[in-house]
Amino acid sequence: MLLNELLKNIDVLNITGNTDTEIRGVTYDSRKALPGYLFVCIDGFATDGHLFAQQAVDNGATALVVEKDVSIIGEVIIIKVTDTREALAGISARWFGHPSENMRLIGITGTKGKTTSTYMVRSILEKAGNTVGLIGTVANCIGNEKIPARRTTPESYDLQEMFEKMRDKGADTVVMEVSSQGLKLHRVSFCDFDIGVFTNFSKDHIGGFEHPDMEDYFNSKMKMFSLCKKGIVNIDSPHGEIIAGEAKCEIYTYGIEKEADVKAKNIITHSDSVEFECITPWFTEKFKVSVPGTFSVYNALAAISICGLLGVSPRYISDGLKNVQIPGRAEVVPTPGKEYTVMIDYAHSPESLENILSTVKSFVKGRLISVFGCGGDRDKSKRPVMGEISGRIADFTIITSDNPRTEVPADILADIESGIKRTEGKYTVIEDRTEAIRYAMNNAKKDDIIVLAGKGHETYQIFKDKTIHYDEREIVMDILREG
């Protein structure tokens, strides 16, 4: 493709060189640059691509896209733009032929519920006979093929490449989680969203590597509703009304407490499911979801709203919700021969921890044992809050490590402990997560439920100097084998 074709709709400040030049490939990784390639210099969190511009040229790159001045030895075309991330998104979409225009694209954003809602939509649409691509935190799926996810929303080039693969494999619909970072950093710019969804908004993702404050976090979420044709908003969320009032697209609402286009009532929670009646502009129907809890109803309402807009029969919606399986979300790990239950959940924010613990507490016959930690290099203010929540709801809490990253694990545990001390909750502190799980299982009694919160679908643990394989399902099985 000619370089001047790739640069259409890109905000170019100036160009040095002839853009009537054939480009053989596009990359934002200088190590992948080859003769005839266009290298886009991204200023990232860990390093700045402008520092590797010369390496890309030495590898044969024909052209560079920059937002800073660079000094290059050798012949190369230099295109200066306002924002290289936004430019990469536009160039990538054009390079792969704007694949999202050939499929229905659904984007779901919010602090909580993105993963569960996307899996619900996928389950429903597959029951209805659609071929669905899934992009998100747990995995990226193209038909039956699963690709491990490195981040919730891939970089724009990788995302457009994935869209192309999904289109070529016959996907008619793609449902994806859209993170606040994905919106802020232009990873989803130039995507043709048919429907955008807002699930909720609460304190999370605040820190040096994410958002500086809540305003920046919320404004990033808001961008979703300038990219989509139709929007769906949880009106019960305090920020839902703001989005509904300021969105640039047609808006539909869902909720339980307030009046909404899609509304749930007569909610009945069971130990392994939740039932409710749903009133929509398209039908009134009773549904059963295979994930318990009121929070599960909200996720289901988001999925019902999406599928209602797409004209899906309530019969398929019912089948999809009843049979949906979400890795690491209220997931029960088999414990053959034991009279207690072990449940894994991704809860890593105050709201999500309270949701899962409150739900389990409502049906547990024995004790509720909470095992959780907090991630390092993330918002420290939520740690004592989560400690207080667990101390208030659980019968016994084991404070342990999550992903400490560059922080000292003991410091994180102390932050959590300061919160649990405000309650009368019984607890202990065991830094090593495996030892914490072993302690919980060895001391569990008949009808107890152990909730391992924070890791969920993750199969790794991040420390300052290494990342190790860590799958809690495997840990539980290993402990069971010990007898």
* Residues pairing with 453 in the sheet: 345
* pLDDT band with cut points at 50, 70 and 90 for residue 152: confident
Please indicate, yes or no, whether the overall pTM of this predicted structure exceeds 0.85.
yes
Joined together, the tokens standing for residue 138 give 């747990």
* pLDDT band with cut points at 50, 70 and 90 for residue 180: confident
pLDDT, average across residues 319-323: 97
| Cα 446 from Cα 449, distance rounded (Å) | 9
Domains of the chain: residue spans and CATH: 3-95 (3.40.1390.10), 99-323 (3.40.1190.10), 331-481 (3.90.190.20)
pLDDT greater than 70 at residue 210:
no
For tokens 């908004």, name the residue.
Answer: 201
DSSP 104-167: EEEEEESSSSHHHHHHHHHHHHHHTT--EEEESSSEEEETTEEEE-SSSS--HHHHHHHHHHHH
Contact predicate 81/270, CB 8 Å: no
CA quadruple 52, 57, 58, 59: dihedral, nearest 10: 90
| Torsional sign, CA 144, 145, 151, 157 | negative
What confidence score (pLDDT) does residue 220 get? 82
Per-position b or e across 273-312, b if 16+ CB within 10 A of its CB:
bbebebebebeebebebbbbbbbbbbbbbbbbbbbbbbeb
| Cα 62 from Cα 91, distance rounded (Å) | 15
Joined together, the tokens standing for residue 65 give 């896209």
pLDDT greater than 80 at residue 402:
yes
| Torsional sign, CA 89, 307, 152, 139 | negative
| Cα 84 from Cα 38, distance rounded (Å) | 12
* pLDDT band with cut points at 50, 70 and 90 for residue 213: low
Contact predicate 232/195, CB 8 Å: yes
| Cα 169 from Cα 176, distance rounded (Å) | 17
| Torsional sign, CA 413, 358, 459, 442 | positive
Q: Position 264: which residue type?
A: A
Contact predicate 360/449, CB 8 Å: yes
| Cα 17 from Cα 144, distance rounded (Å) | 45
Each residue's pLDDT tens digit, 100-148: 999 999 999 998 899 999 999 999 999 999 999 999 988 899 877 887 7
| Torsional sign, CA 355, 180, 328, 272 | positive
What confidence score (pLDDT) does residue 361 get? 96
% of the chain beyond a pLDDT of 70:
97
DSSP 252-311: EEEESSS--SEEEEEEEE-SS-EEEEEE-SS-EEEEEESS-SHHHHHHHHHHHHHHHHTT
Mean pLDDT of all residues in the chain? 94
| Cα 441 from Cα 105, distance rounded (Å) | 43
Alpha-carbon distances, residue 263 vs 96, 252, 278, 295, 308 (angstroms)? 40, 11, 6, 14, 12
3-state DSSP: the chain helix, strand, coil percent, rounded to 5?
35, 25, 40
Joined together, the tokens standing for residue 71 give 């000094």
| Cα 255 from Cα 459, distance rounded (Å) | 33
What confidence score (pLDDT) does residue 284 get? 98
Q: Is 462 exposed, middle or buried (0-12, 13-18, 19+ CB in 10 A)?
A: middle
| Contacts with 46 (C-beta within 8 Å, 6 or more apart), sequence order | none
pLDDT greater than 80 at residue 426:
yes
